[in-house]
Amino acid sequence: MQNKNANRKKTAFTLIEILVSLAITAILLSAVAMVFSASLVNYQENQRLYESSITARQAMERMTSQLRTAIWVDPYAPDDECDFITHLDGDHSHGREDIGCEHCRHFAYSFDSENNRLVLLDIDNDTDHILCENVTGIKFRRETATQEDEVYVRSVQIKMTVGEGSASQTLTGAAVVRKELER
């Protein structure tokens, strides 16, 4: 009788073997889920940084374009702000002597560090417009010159950093104030 049981092959898994295989499978699946979750979070963070970078590039293009055509740029504004006066109808023949005419407008780019955004202030109309969110820093560096005891801005270099989570991107731009090339 013992011979019959000894010759019989084992064809089923024991309960312990099944439980061990389930535990190993659960560990592997949880590791895969953690990797997938981390990849998803990273993708979303990169997507938001990409969108912020596009907006920052558009804001940089606007700033450099407006500063190029400005009649006057404040040489004494703080590093995180840039005040300027421009002529709205695009008449580039106007100079500083025309500041105050009905077509001139006073604007300022300002960094709102409390809300991490770049704002365009329309000083004449006392309004503001958000140009870019997720800005972690901005610096306007002005190259100045002096003529007849008057300090004026020849060019402005801009360095702006946007960030999302732990990732950030820095953009730079520069504008030569065309009105000051004539000096």
pLDDT (tens digit per residue) in 33-47:
999 999 998 888 889
pLDDT > 70 in the chain, percent: 86
**Whole-number Å distance between alpha carbons of 66 and 120:** 11
Flag the least confident range among 46-50, 79-83, 129-133.
Answer: 46-50
183 pLDDT above the threshold of 60: no
H-state helical runs in the chain: 2-7, 15-68
Q: 101 or 15, which is more confident?
A: 15
Question: What's residue 13's pLDDT?
Answer: 85
Cα(16)–Cα(35) distance, rounded to whole angstroms?
Answer: 29
The residues, any chain, with a CB within 8 Å of residue 91's CB and separated by 6 or more, are 103
Residue 106 pLDDT: 93
Query: Other C-beta atoms within 10 Å of 61: how many?
Result: 11
| 126-176 pLDDT tens trace | 999 999 999 999 999 999 999 888 999 999 999 999 998 888 999 999 999
Domain boundaries in the chain?
35-182
Query: What is the structure's pLDDT at 12?
Result: 84
